[in-house]
Structures are given as C-alpha cells and as structure tokens.
Structure 1
Amino acid sequence: MLPYQIEARSSKSMAPSIHFEMESDKSNTHSSLHVVMFPFFAFGHISPFVQLSNKLSSHGVKVSFFSASANVNRIRSMLNDASTTQIIPFNIPHVEGLPPGVDSTADLNPTQSELLKVALDLMQPQIRTLLSQLKPHFVLFDFAQEWLPKLVSELGIQTVFYSVFIALSTAYVTVPSRLPEPGRYPTIDEMKKPPPGFPQTSVTSLRTFEAQDSLYMFKSFHGKPCVYDRVLSGLQSCSVILAKTCDEMEAPYINYAKSQFKKPVLLVGPLPPEPRPDQLEEKWAKWLDKFEANSVIYCSFGSETFLTDSQIKELALGLELTGLPFFLVLNFPKVDVSTELNRALPEGFLESVEAKGIIHTGWVQQQQILAHKSVGCYLCHAGFSSVIEAIVNDCQLVMLPQKGDQYVNSKLVHGDLKAGVEVNRIDEDGFFGKEDIKRAVETVMLNINEEPGMSIRNNQRKWKEFLLNKDIQNNFIKNVVKEMEAIAGISSI
C-alpha cells in the first residue's frame, strides 16, 4: 500500500485530498532531507528523475515522486529494490483533444503532447495542496512547470530546476543572452551562431537543419508560453539549478551557465545506469551468440523518435553495406506497424539480410543487448542516456541525431569528448545516404588502427573508466546531498 492515498477529484478546480498512513521506515536513513520529484509527463524526463531518486534514496534522502496515475506502474518498475521512494499519483485534468487516460507523451502525437502542457498548467491548485501537506525542503521540477517557484514560495519550500539535458544544451539555447534583443526571438541565421560570451570549444555553430529544428523552442502552442520562455523562467526563478552532468565532461558550458544565472548550480554527474538484474530474452541471446565478440551493430532511436521512410531506406542499406551483423529496432507512430515497415524498407531487404540482420519493432531489453559480448557498436539518436549506456558497455558510438538536444549531444561527444562519430549529413536539410552510414560505422568498427578511429576508441575507454568508477560517481551524489542540506539549513547526521 502506498503511504499516501490520493482521492482524485474530477473538477480541475478542486485539489485532491491526501491521507497519510504510517508505515515502517525501510531504509537506514542518515539524512532528514525531504525532496519532491516532479518531472514532465514524458519518459525521457521521468527516467532521469527516477535515476536520481534511486541515488538520493540510497543516501537516506526521503523522496516523494509526483506523476500521473497511468505512469505509476512503469515508474515503480524503474525504482531500485532498495529504494524508499514513495510515488504520489494524481489525475490529469481533462483538456479538449487530449485522449482520456493517457498520461505521458509515449502514446500521443506531437500536437496532443502540447496539450499535456496545457493540462499541467491547470494542475496548480492540486499541486499547491499536495505540497502544503507534504512540506518538503525542495521540489525538483522540470522545464514545463515554470509557475512552480512562485506558487510554493509562500509555503516556505525551495525549488530546484533539474535539467535533464547536458549543460551544452542550456548554454547554447536557453540562456538569457540567446535573445538578440528583448522581446525578439532569434532567426535561423542567429541560431546558427552561439550566444554572446559562449566559451571557445569545438562547438562553433549549428547547421541549417539543426537551427531550423531549434526554432521549435520559440513557438507558442495554444496561447501558452513557448519552451524557451518556460525554461528561462524556471531557471531564473528557482532557488537552485541541478544538472545531470559534471565538470569533467562540460566545465566550459557549466561555468557559462553559472555566469548567466548567478545562482547555485549543483552537479549530480552523468548518472550511469545500474546493471539490469534480469537476463536477456533467450531468442535474442541465441541470435547474438552466433557472432564474434564486438562485431554486431545495435541500432535504435528510442520509443519517441521516428525516422522518415527515406531515412529508413538509407539507414538499412548502409547497415547492409558494412558487411557486419546488425540488430535494427524501428519504431513508428501509433499506426499499423507491419504496413509501415514493409513500405519503409527496400524491396527484398528482409530476405537479403536474413542470415545476419534482425529488424524489430517495439520494446527490447536495450541494456542487456548492449551488454552482450557480441555487440560492439551502437548506432543511435544521441539521446544522452543512450550515449552513456553505449560507453559503459564498451560499444562504439555512431550518432545520427534527429531532433532537439540530440544535435548538441552529438557535438559534445564527437567534438569535445572525442568518444564517438557522427554520420555526415547535408547542411541544408540533414540528408544522409547509405554511404554516409557505412563510412561512419567503418571509422569505429573496421578502421580501428587508423585515425580517427584509434583515438575515438582510446577516448571512449577513458570515459568508460570514469563512468564506472563507483567512488567518483557516488561522490557526486554525496556532495549534492550535503550542499542541499546546507541550503535547507539541515545538519548532517
């Protein structure tokens, strides 16, 4: 039974009532710090909040996790067995056009996903009521709840903007100096260039198609604030900024963000994933066992990044050209998957690669696949959690970013960290061909005794050692807990 039983009310103007039940303490608590986690309703955001909850809980911090009811089971499955995190569910208010019972972006198209922000804005009264009863020291909130700091300040609660994006993304896109002048959003040409004062690093510009994609940040939907305005307001009005990064990887961008916002910026580190206790499904293990160590390419773009038919064709043909075995995961919006797959793949492709290729749609055990001895390369969208998973599993990184922060993630890994390679693309529209896929894979998988492949492998090995150093990673969390206790005026036990 949950320690908090929520009675949901149907009217959006009414807050839920919360009933507390006593339950025995399941942890060896050594901190009286209490934090609320409140991510946006997208699992690309929920997952890093859960990761951090696991880490904080292991250091004795009391964690209460806010999310919509339909997300609870999946969140619970992501918590460590030893975690004492308590999940507090609530119902999302009805918004015209938003399907009932859908509580995350996973089952929504882009238009409907924007309505989740509208629904979130309507939840302010019930969030205030919950927080007034819980009385945590801090609320860790996400990009879409820019109204939260003002709402809870009179309750004596401090707010932490938890950025699940790398510091480079914040430094390049969502700092105050990004606006060319007050009240005017940047053009494509202006977005190609870094903001004033940006540090001198390998990141010098965005390509045309990347800058075009970034303009989404400045677009308003349903009369609501755009993403840039939400993020900037949240960063400026919070008590503390918390970032899922570290100085070792991003010092120039972290320092630039500090100079822009002039408030405490705490670093939890990159949060490498814990090894999964469950075994890889037998049918995939048997297939992978047929191949030599480090020879298989695993290719996936996550559950909410979809390639166009033409991109799928070039990708598939490029994988075939490498001559290496591959495991390709393709996902599509909520449509007839078999029809989409048959249309997107080249004619006769499934038959021609039957001996050495798997094409799968839907969920797979990604961490276990990457950990298999035969998998040596991960071709992905450069979501940063995927990047970290690749490095800790000693899989060479080939990056093909598709949207949003994926573009700057790839620039950081390819340019600054020099731990992966990005697929070459045309500046204007981002087109890539099968030969571009082939060349990128060959750089890190076949030309390993030549440059730049040799340097990339050496650098990746260095970052793997850093990420798997438990003392280093544990100290990030330990230091964050101490700093948050100090800000809250709590004496460590």
Structure 2
Amino acid sequence: MEMKGNSNDVLHIVMFPFFAFGHISPFVQLSNKLSFHGVKVSFFTASGNASRVKSMLNSAPTTCIVPLTLPQVEGLPPGAESTAELTPITAELLKVALDQMQPQIKSLLSNLKPHFVLFDFAQDWLPKMADELGIKSVYYSVFVALSTAFLTCPARVPQPKNYPSLEDMKKPPPGFPHTSVTSVKTFEAQDFLYIFKSFHGGPTVYDRVLSGLKGCSAILAKTCSQMEGPYIEYVKSQFKKPVFLVGPVVPDPPSGELEERWGNWLNKFESGTVIYSSFGSETFLTDDQIKELALGLEETGLPFFLVLNFPANIDVSAELNRVLPKGFMERVKERGIVHSGWVQQQHILAHSSVGCYVCHAGFSSVIEALVNDCQVVMLPQKGDQFLNAKLVSGDMKAGVEVNRRDEDGYFGKQDIKEAVEMVMMEVDKEPGKFFRENQKKWKEFLLNTDIQCKFIEDLVYEMKAMVKISSN
C-alpha cells in the first residue's frame, strides 16, 4: 500500500475488474500497455486472485496489486474469489459480495487518490463514489462496441423496467446503424434475456451496465473505428459523453518455448494444416456438442488438436470415454489429439503447422488467431460471443461462423466440416478466398506496432488532458 497519492505529472490509474478472468485479462493487458508509457497502475483484485494476476502483470516499478477482502456471503464457498471456481448460479453471489465491499473500496480510493478508476460492469455504484472523492471514473467495456450497441444502450429499454421480449431481442434497438447485423437467431436472443434477470434481489446486468455507463466520466472501449466505426458512433450518440478507444489490445508474443511433447507432435504436419480447437477454461460444451464437434473435425480429414474442459472435480478420462464417439480415439490416433486442461494456446497458434482455430469467438481469441495467420471458425456459446461472431464474419469478413439451427442452436458434424472446409480447403473459391484475403489485411493492421501503440498514446494523452496533467 506504499503507492499513496499523486505526483502532479504522473498519471495514476486504479484498475478494478470484475472477479472473472475473462474480465481480469483485458484489464491486465491494458495495464501492461499503460505501464510502458509511465502510467502508475494500482490493480484491485480479490486476494485469492492476486498471485495469478501478479504472474500476468509486467513487473513495472509503477505497478502494484491491491488485494481486496471478499466479505462472507451466504452460499458463496469460502476462498472462491473468481468465477473459475464457481457454477454460473453461485458466481452471481460475487456481485452480492462486490456490493458489500463499497466501504472497503471507498477507503482504498481515499488513501490512494488516483486520477482515474477504471471499473467493470458490476460496480454500478462506483461512479458516484469516485465523484464524491474527486476521482474520474471510466467504464472499461471489455466487450466489442457492437455488444454495447445491440444489448446495453438506453434505446434497448426506452421505459424503465419495461424489459424486452424474446421477439424484441431478435432485432436491433431503434436507431441502430445499417450494418451486416440485422437480426439474431432465436437461441441467441434467448441467451441475451439473461441480462434482464435479477439474482438474489440485486439489480439486473442491464441495469448495472446502464447505471455505470450513464454515471461514469468517460467510456473506454476495447476496440477501434477501423473494426467498429458505426457501432462506436451509435454508442456515442446514446450516452453523449467521451468514448475513448484503446484498440483491440493485441497480446504480446508469448515468452518461453512450446512444451516439447506438443512441439514434436505439431512438427509432424505440413504448414497450415492443423486445426486447433478450444473454447476457453470456463466454457463447457454439452455432450451432443462434443460428439458433433469431434466427428466434424474427424470428417475434415485434417490433423486436429482439440481441447475440452470440464467442471472441477470430474474424472476427465472417464468423462472423455463417456462423451467421445465410440471408436473415435482409435480412428484418429495418427492425426488427432484430445486434451483437457491448460495448454500454451498462444504458442500452439503460433506454430507453423497450425492453420485454423475453431473457437467460441471470444474476441481476444479471435485476435490471437488473426495475428498468428490462423483461419477463424467460430462456434459461439453465450452472450457477447454471438455478436463477436457476427462482427468477425459479417462486418470484418475475417472468419466463418458454424451454421446452427434457429430455435436451439443445434449443429451437426456436417456444419463443422463445411465451416472448416470453407476457410481451409476452398482457398481459391469464393467465399473461402475472400475470407483469407481479409484475414491477411487484418493481420497486417493488428501487427502494425505504430498503429497499435498510437491507440495507447492517444488514450494517455486524452486522460492526462481530462485531469489537466501536462503531456510534455
């Protein structure tokens, strides 16, 4: 807690993400970029997450972790301090815990006296608190601007608490820009209705987000006008306040070497022929989805590396035996790996033999694929992933989405095979050729360090101007 107060010329920012690593990671990546520009960062996270966050943060002398104490909440297991250790239902209790932490947060902010606090969707009470302390609050949206524009803008719920129906959610809100996104499927709209549900008597996700976006001093979006110009303009028109853009926040290349067993296996295959498929550590596919995905990968005839994750305390080998199609492992043993648990994803995507990434369309995953010259096949599972897939396949034309049934999102092995073939086999035909050419353009844009660095420089300049710090 030695980082008290401010010097007049050093920008000091508190980072305060929600307790989920899908949220923590973008805050860490931004912290690392900002620390290179001399910005002082105090990173708030639950004490149980501190060691993992520390391993992700650059060890800059201007960066420190501020551990938070989670209050005891009935139903929240002791020591569970991120969504990774919880079911979706018990994870809702982390929001209850956050709401009870207001006195602790107020005390820390009073002590640290940062210029800004960057906060997440769940801390809707933070702008008012920061304002009382003379601190600027910035709502950092870790989702693409399309997600905010489609789901969480004031036009979506013109009358307070008059939440939309399933049919309403299939269409964009009033005034939405004319783009490739004109509607969503029934199963996607059904998933979006989650944001209008209240758990444990607390505010809905929609109400938290709206309150945070309306109350903050400025909005910061993890995107850029090159990718999302129309949606950014729509968000500006809806909230009428500064919208800063940090760019897509391209991850730094991984350090160290790829594990020998995976390197040796990948080395057996020709350049750009291996399909890597993973859905993140907190996404669990259903039995049917695993079967059809596995069979679809088999039917492509290409080598593949499939990562499947299961909830904690499950016997993984027994589970794989149960859910994988009969005789599958025997049939694909020369060209297929099925693995459960953490792998060096960035290293694998960077390997020359890997040419396609089948993923859940988490935007960070899409960026990792593009910078590593991997074709993108998207099988979104929830929330913003559905909109990411529409942005990437529709507006950016940099990947394909697996075709699915309207009412329930069902897909079969043929749908997987066709999506992969479009980007891997039909390289000289439309639309495969078209996607590949676009993918190359986006790769060049994302790897242009001058462009990516300028996003951060501009952000630092704008934030300094907002609190009247000289940029000299």
Q: Residue type of the partner of 1:309?
A: D
Give 1:45-64 correspondences, 5 Å limit: 45-64=23-42
Report what 2:361 is aligned to.
Answer: 382
Q: Distance in 1 between matches of 2:371 and 2:8?
A: 30
* Length, aligned pairs only: 469
Q: Residue type of the partner of 2:53?
A: I
1:419 aligns with 2:411: no
Per the normalisation by structure 1, the TM-score is 0.94
State the identity as a percent: 71
C-alpha RMSD of the superposition:
1.2
1:166 aligns with 2:144: yes
How far residue 80 of structure 1 moved from its aligned partner, in angstroms, is 2.4
Q: Distance in 1 between matches of 2:88 and 2:160?
A: 29
How far residue 181 of structure 1 moved from its aligned partner, in angstroms, is 3.2
Report what 1:13 is aligned to.
Answer: none
How far residue 39 of structure 1 moved from its aligned partner, in angstroms, is 0.1
3-state secondary structure, aligned to 1:190:
helix
Q: Distance in 1 between matches of 2:20 and 2:330?
A: 37
Q: Distance in 1 between matches of 2:161 and 2:25?
A: 34
Q: Does the Cα contact within 8 Å between 2:3 and 2:112 map onto a contact in 1?
A: no
Q: Residue type of the partner of 2:120?
A: D
1:189 aligns with 2:167: yes
Q: Does the Cα contact within 8 Å between 1:239 and 1:263 map onto a contact in 2?
A: yes
How far residue 30 of structure 1 moved from its aligned partner, in angstroms, is 11
Report what 1:233 is aligned to.
Answer: 211
Q: Distance in 1 between matches of 2:211 and 2:272?
A: 46
Report what 2:180 is aligned to.
Answer: 202
Distance 1:451 1:30, change over 3 A: farther
1:325-362 residue CA offsets vs partner (Å, 9 max, x unmatched): 00000001122222222211101111111110000000
Q: Distance in 1 between matches of 2:61 and 2:187?
A: 43
Q: Does the Cα contact within 8 Å between 1:192 and 1:206 map onto a contact in 2?
A: yes
Report what 2:224 is aligned to.
Answer: 246
Q: Does the Cα contact within 8 Å between 1:30 and 1:492 map onto a contact in 2?
A: no
Aligned partner of 1:322 among 282, 300, 313? 300
3-state secondary structure, aligned to 2:137:
strand
Per the normalisation by structure 2, the TM-score is 0.98
Q: Residue type of the partner of 1:478?
A: E
1:443 aligns with 2:422: yes
Q: Does the Cα contact within 8 Å between 1:208 and 1:429 map onto a contact in 2?
A: yes
Report what 1:16 is aligned to.
Answer: none
Q: Residue type of the partner of 1:431?
A: Y
Q: Which runs of 4+ in 1 moved over 3 A?
A: 81-84
Give 1:247-396 correspondences, 5 Å limit: 247-334=225-312, 335-396=314-375
Aligned partner of 1:398 among 373, 377, 380? 377
3-state secondary structure, aligned to 2:262:
helix
3-state secondary structure, aligned to 1:233:
helix
Q: Distance in 1 between matches of 2:3 and 2:379?
A: 49
Q: Distance in 2 between matches of 1:207 and 1:181?
A: 25
Aligned partner of 1:479 among 458, 466, 471? 458
Q: Distance in 2 between matches of 1:474 and 1:375?
A: 28
1:292-351 residue CA offsets vs partner (Å, 9 max, x unmatched): 000000000000111100010000000000000000000011222222222111011111
Structure 2: runs of 5+ lacking an equivalent: none
Structure 1: runs of 5+ lacking an equivalent: 5-19, 23-28
Q: Residue type of the partner of 2:33?
A: K
1:89 aligns with 2:64: no
Aligned partner of 2:82 among 81, 104, 107? 104
